[in-house]
Amino acid sequence: MSASLPVNPALPLWSDPARQQQFQHWLAPLTDRFGLQPATLTAAAADSGQRRYLRLQGAQQPFIIMDAPAATNVNDAFLRMARQMQDAALPGPEPLAHDLEHGFILLTDLGSTTLLTALQGDITVEDGFFDAHPGPRTDAWLRESLDLLLKWQQRIPTEGLVRYDRAFLQRELDIFTEWCVGAEHGVVWTAPQQAQWRGVCEALIGLALEQPFVAMHRDWMARNLMVLPDGQKLQGHSLAILDFQDTIAGPVGYDLISLLRDAYITWDEAQELDWAVRYWQAARAAGLPVHDDFGEFWRAAEWLGLQRHLKVMGIFCRLQHRDGKPIHIGEVPRFMAWANRVALRYGPLRPLIPLLETLGGAKLQQGYTF
Q: DSSP E strands: which ranges in 208-295?
A: 213-216, 225-227, 239-241, 248-251
For residue 225, how many C-alpha atoms fall within 13 Å in the half-sphere facing its CB? Answer: 29
Q: Could you give the percent of the chain with pLDDT greater than 70?
A: 91
Task: Delimit the domains of the chain by residue range.
Answer: 17-108, 115-366
User: 279: Cβ–Cβ under 8 A, 6 or more apart, which residues?
Assistant: 146, 149, 150, 256
Rounded to a whole number of angstroms, the CA Rg of the chain reads: 22
Q: Which CATH class, in words, describes the domain spanning 115-366? A: alpha beta
**C-alpha angle 159-164-169 in degrees, rounded to nearest 5:** 170
Q: Which CATH class, in words, describes the domain spanning 17-108? A: alpha beta
Residue 49, pLDDT score: 62
The mean pLDDT value for 108-117 works out to 94
Q: Could you give the percent of the chain with pLDDT greater than 90?
A: 79
Instruction: Give the confidence band of 362 by pLDDT, cuts at 50, 70, 90.
Output: very low
Which of 192, 200, 159 has its CA nearest to residue 176?
200
pTM of the model: 0.90
Please give the distance of CA 84 from its chain centroid, rounded to a whole number.
19
Helix axes 191-210, 352-366, angle to 10 degrees: 100
Strands 248-251 and 213-216, sheet pairing: antiparallel
Which of 245, 317, 201 has its CA nearest to residue 93?
245
DSSP SS3 for 262: coil
